[in-house]
Amino acid sequence: MQYAAFLGHQPQISIAELSATLEDFSLGEVIDNRIALFNTSEKIDQSFLDELGGTMLIAQRITEESLTLDDIPQVLLNEIKSKRGKITFSLRTIHIPRSMIGTIYRRCKKRCKDAGRGCRYVGSEKKPAATAVLHEAELIDGKDGCELVLMHVEEEEDRTLWIGKTIAAQDIDWYTTRDMEKPVRDTTVGLLPPKLAQIMINFGDFLVRETNSDKSNDVITILDPFCGTGVIPMEAIIREFPVLASDISMKAVNGCKKNIDWIRKEEEIFKKDVSSEVFKHDALKPFDLKELPDVIVTETTLGPPMSARPSQKETGKLKTQNEKLQCDFLENAASSLPGVPIVCAWPAWKQKGGWVRLEKVWKTIDKLKYRPSLPPEIEPEDPKRFSLFYRRKDQFVGREIVLLMPPKS
Ligand SMILES: C[S@@+](CC[C@H](N)C(=O)[O-])C[C@H]1O[C@@H](n2cnc3c(N)ncnc32)[C@H](O)[C@@H]1O
């Protein structure tokens, strides 16, 4: 089955997440670096999308016939024929002239009326409906209608009209709630966006499956040894993955505990069903855990947040300090958490000439025989670094996401 994924603001990471999540993922065309066409035989629905951080909306292709825009009113009528009462529809279009979009909206409405179906639409020729509106209007679950996705796609010198319907869309309000309304927010250590935490957890799940094929579709235990106020542990709990979280700072430990308690209440996930343990620990000192976790997923430490570009001198100092911390942590993980794969985010600093990133830590990775990895079909952005890079235009500290398989046993 073919789908179109409307990607978040870091398209390469979003595609990597899809590849990590779907075992038979096969990437097709990527349109305007923001929509990825892909094939999979796995089930794609709203609950699948809820577990992704990097995709905003997914549409399923509904016909491969070579149709034109004139056929769209009939396509809509076919899609809604099993629904009763007044229907709602909407259009999401790519590379279709604005004047045409208005015409299609009107023709669809008229066609429904002629067929005796009362209807209304959400969205307009200027802007497709917001994802919250699609949920409110019950277009995703198909109860009250549907959203058609229409894209002109260049395929082997031909221009095809890709026709699909939206089957899943991100619940933006719930992301905002868990980011902004959790009881403890510590902006002094930088806040990991919940969506990036989800992506990192999906990479962790992928590494566990790669390391241990018996683990597929299983629950995995996650350790975040630099947990801060706990965005990764919270997202793990929502996913119903047991979690161990530690931090060198007691303030962070207490904040993380409070945030976990809050998310448990919000989601009604009880400790007896999904366990969590939060404790004070220096991640550079040996871990003494009753059982090894399945995977480490952690943001490590990014250093101080920056409101301006750091000077070259300052960057050099931060880099040296951070490099040492990352190396010491990896040495410790290799000896006290042997065989456990790692997903980590390292800092990178914006400078006039580009981004300054960690260097020496790759030598440590080599020495410890960790194996940097990426999901299938994903090329590193920089061929010299087997990693993904997350950065926002307005930020001076970026995050390099590194996936490490443990040494071969
Ligand atoms: C960038 S913050 C992590 C933020 C976290 N992902 C969140 O969402 O809140 C890094 C954390 O690492 C902790 N940290 C720094 N050095 C550490 C060490 N040696 N061992 C454990 N934690 C450490 C800091 O106290 C801080 O809470």
Minimum-distance ligand 1 atom for the alpha carbon of 228: 27
CB within 8 Å of 115: residues ≥ 6 apart: 77
Does residue 191 have its Cβ closer than 6 Å to ligand 1?
A: yes
Is pLDDT at 157 greater than 80 in this prediction? Answer: no
Which of 1-5, 281-285, 302-306 shows the lowest per-residue confidence on average (mean pLDDT)?
Answer: 302-306
Between 190 and 105, where is the model more confident?
A: 105
Does residue 228 have its Cβ closer than 6 Å to ligand 1?
A: yes
Shared-domain flag, residues 190 and 212: yes
Is pLDDT at 297 greater than 90 in this prediction? Answer: yes
Does residue 231 have its Cβ closer than 6 Å to ligand 1?
A: yes
pLDDT score of 212: 82
- Compute the distance between CA of residue 273 and CA of residue 291 in angstroms, rounded to an integer: 18
Is pLDDT at 393 greater than 90 in this prediction? Answer: no
Domain closes at, from 170, 192, 223: 170
Candidate from 180, 189, 285, 296 with most ligand 1 atoms within 8 A of CB, to mutate: 189
Does residue 284 have its Cβ closer than 6 Å to ligand 1?
A: yes
Is pLDDT at 338 greater than 80 in this prediction? Answer: yes
pLDDT score of 216: 59
The CATH number of whichever domain residue 21 belongs to comes to: 3.30.2130
Burial of 314 (0-12, 13-18, 19+ CB in 10 A): middle
Burial of 109 (0-12, 13-18, 19+ CB in 10 A): middle
Shared-domain flag, residues 272 and 336: yes
Going by C-alpha positions, the residue among 165, 167, 191 that lies closest to residue 179 is: 191
Q: What angle do CA 181, 305, 276 make, to 5 degrees?
A: 45
Is pLDDT at 87 greater than 80 in this prediction? Answer: yes
Going by C-alpha positions, the residue among 157, 192, 186 that lies closest to residue 53 is: 192
Segment (H or E) for 13:
helix 11-21
In this predicted model, what pLDDT tens digit does every residue of 112-136 receive, in sequence order? 999 998 999 999 989 999 999 999 9
Does residue 153 have its Cβ closer than 6 Å to ligand 1?
A: no
Between 359 and 155, where is the model more confident?
A: 359
Shared-domain flag, residues 77 and 198: no
Candidate from 187, 223, 232, 247 with most ligand 1 atoms within 8 A of CB, to mutate: 247
Shared-domain flag, residues 155 and 287: no
Q: Are the C-beta atoms of 34 and 22 separated by less than 8 Å?
A: no
Shared-domain flag, residues 188 and 301: yes
pLDDT score of 215: 66
Q: What is the DSSP letter of 126?
A: S
Q: Which residues of 335-367 are buried (b: 16+ CB within 10 A; e: fewer)?
A: eebeebbbbbbbbbbbeeeebbbbeebbebbee
User: What is the reported pTM?
Assistant: 0.96
Identify which of 82-96, 253-267, 378-392 has the greatest average pLDDT. Answer: 253-267
Segment (H or E) for 398:
strand 397-405
pLDDT score of 304: 82
pLDDT score of 143: 79
- Compute the distance between CA of residue 163 and CA of residue 67 in angstroms, rounded to an integer: 9
pLDDT score of 154: 83
Helices (H) and strands (E) in the chain, counts: 11, 17
Q: What is the mean pLDDT of residues 152-179?
A: 91
Q: How far is C-alpha 361 from the geometric centre of its chain's CA atoms?
A: 26
Q: What is the DSSP letter of 300?
A: -
Shared-domain flag, residues 150 and 180: no
Does residue 17 have its Cβ closer than 6 Å to ligand 1?
A: no
Is pLDDT at 190 greater than 70 in this prediction? Answer: no
Confidence of residue 142 (pLDDT cuts 50, 70, 90): confident
In this predicted model, what pLDDT tens digit does every residue of 212-267 receive, in sequence order? 877 656 899 999 999 999 999 999 999 999 999 999 999 999 999 999 999 999 99
Shared-domain flag, residues 166 and 244: no
Does residue 192 have its Cβ closer than 6 Å to ligand 1?
A: yes
Shared-domain flag, residues 206 and 107: no
Going by C-alpha positions, the residue among 138, 134, 153, 168 that lies closest to residue 56 is: 168
Shared-domain flag, residues 228 and 335: yes
pLDDT score of 283: 98
Q: How far is the CA of 112 from the centre of ligand 1 (A)?
A: 57
Q: What angle do CA 176, 11, 232 make, to 5 degrees?
A: 45
Does residue 235 have its Cβ closer than 6 Å to ligand 1?
A: no
Does residue 278 have its Cβ closer than 6 Å to ligand 1?
A: no
Q: What is the mean pLDDT of residues 146-152?
A: 96
Q: How far is the CA of 160 from the centre of ligand 1 (A)?
A: 50
Distances (CA, A) of 173 to 49, 61, 132, 136, 211: 15, 27, 8, 12, 35
Domain closes at, from 116, 151, 170: 170
Shared-domain flag, residues 199 and 89: no
Distances (CA, A) of 275 to 49, 85, 170, 221, 238: 24, 46, 27, 9, 12
Mean pLDDT, all residues of the chain: 94
Shared-domain flag, residues 183 and 132: no
Does residue 248 have its Cβ closer than 6 Å to ligand 1?
A: yes
In this predicted model, what pLDDT tens digit does every residue of 8-59 receive, in sequence order? 999 999 999 999 999 999 999 999 999 999 999 999 999 999 999 999 999 9
Q: How far is the CA of 370 from the centre of ligand 1 (A)?
A: 22
Does residue 184 have its Cβ closer than 6 Å to ligand 1?
A: no
Minimum-distance ligand 1 atom for the alpha carbon of 301: 10
Is pLDDT at 170 greater than 90 in this prediction? Answer: yes
- What's the domain range around 106? 2-170
Q: How far is the CA of 246 from the centre of ligand 1 (A)?
A: 8
- Compute the distance between CA of residue 138 and CA of residue 149 in angstroms, rounded to an integer: 16
Number of domains in the chain: 2
pLDDT score of 263: 98
The CATH number of whichever domain residue 292 belongs to comes to: 3.40.50.150
Shared-domain flag, residues 273 and 312: yes
Domain closes at, from 140, 170, 200: 170
Is pLDDT at 144 greater than 90 in this prediction? Answer: no
